[in-house]
Structure 1
Amino acid sequence: MANIATQRIQREFSEVTKSDESQKNLISIELVNNSLSDLRGYISGPPDTPYEGGIFHLDIKIPETYPFNPPKVRFLTKIWHPNISSVTGAICLDILKDQWAAAMTIRTVLLSLQALLSGAEPDDPQDAVVAKQYKDSYEMFKLTAKHWTSVYAMTGFDKWRYPDFDYKIQRLMEIMKVDEDRARVALSSNNWDLEKATQSLLS
């Protein structure tokens, strides 16, 4: 890694660790295999959103050309959000593409992603299926996003339970002989209509 990138990341790593947001457990960061080019980021789901209570893990790759080019970031934790792929974790956020500036930092990125969880941009989606649900059936979107947060981003006794969702997932797994994740995606994508979800897996 270029010397300028190494120096920047060392400084930014310290900045995140000492930040108020880190002290409040809102964001954090760690090295993967002691490499300054391979980081793991964590953001907590913002209050009063379907992501509240969840901890979301991020894969952050620092390019040789940093800070003149943005880091490559994706969600490792599965999430139901219009601007984040429910399949790959890819993110649609302008500062990770053409609106990046060399003055920005990893802390900027983590806080911007946290802000994205508070305010989705469904007209510029990464996941068209989620964006359509967000625009056409917002209450269903909120329930689905909260369910995904509970399943993928929470541990222990903090989890919420949705008996109706759980029942439909089990039924779809039995009917179509698919795993739980695939059943959940099919149902989530079809507003939890068991018949439509079954048809989507047949087509």
Structure 2
Amino acid sequence: MIELSFFNILDLLGTVAFAISGALSAMNRRLDLFGIFIIAFVTAIGGGTIRDILIGSTPVTWMENTIYIYLIGLVTILAIIFRKKLDHLKKSLFLFDSIGLGIFTITGVELGIQNNLNPIISITLGTMTGTFGGVVRDILCNEIPVIFRKEIYATACIVGGLAFIFFYELGMAQDVIYIITSVTVIVIRLLAVKFHISLPSFYLSQENTLQK
């Protein structure tokens, strides 16, 4: 049975947010029931799985605590049942994806610190934890992952990770750091989309591509 510390509660909330994000994404693409469950599952556990493998924590969290499996299943069923209540699926998908991104960034950075990793590595671990589930989701749904597009996605995780390390070094209370970091990531992502802020993209002209 999982210990209900504030950290673990956040991890469960991140799992819920990404499970809903995955389920909505699958329904947007008219996948069948099995497809919806698979996309919800890999979106919810993808980041945490790679996080645990990288720090050598095996079996990974969802294999040791079946509450994650039951929670993902329940959330997916509820998302299917109340799909008509979610009038704007794209907006709902974006919101839950942003929440999951913010929360999972925290868990990755925190576990990096607990394992005495360099701050830069801890931020990288937080970024991977936050983004990997979405990468797998988008690949399975035959889309270019958001992290590789112009949208501010991984950048929000990096800024959130930097904020986490900064306040951690100041000796601020851990629970307060969790809240500040997650809100930072979510707000950056929301503002970036609202005001169309993006990273520059670079590409070859069609003429140059054809010549090659």
Question: What is the TM-score when the length of structure 2 is the normalising length?
Answer: 0.30
Whose relative contact order is higher, 1 or 2, with alpha carbons under 8 Å and at least 6 apart?
A: 2
Compare the two structures and name the one with the higher helix fraction: 2
Question: What is the TM-score when the length of structure 1 is the normalising length?
Answer: 0.31
Looking at CA atoms only, which structure, 1 or 2, has the larger radius of gyration?
1
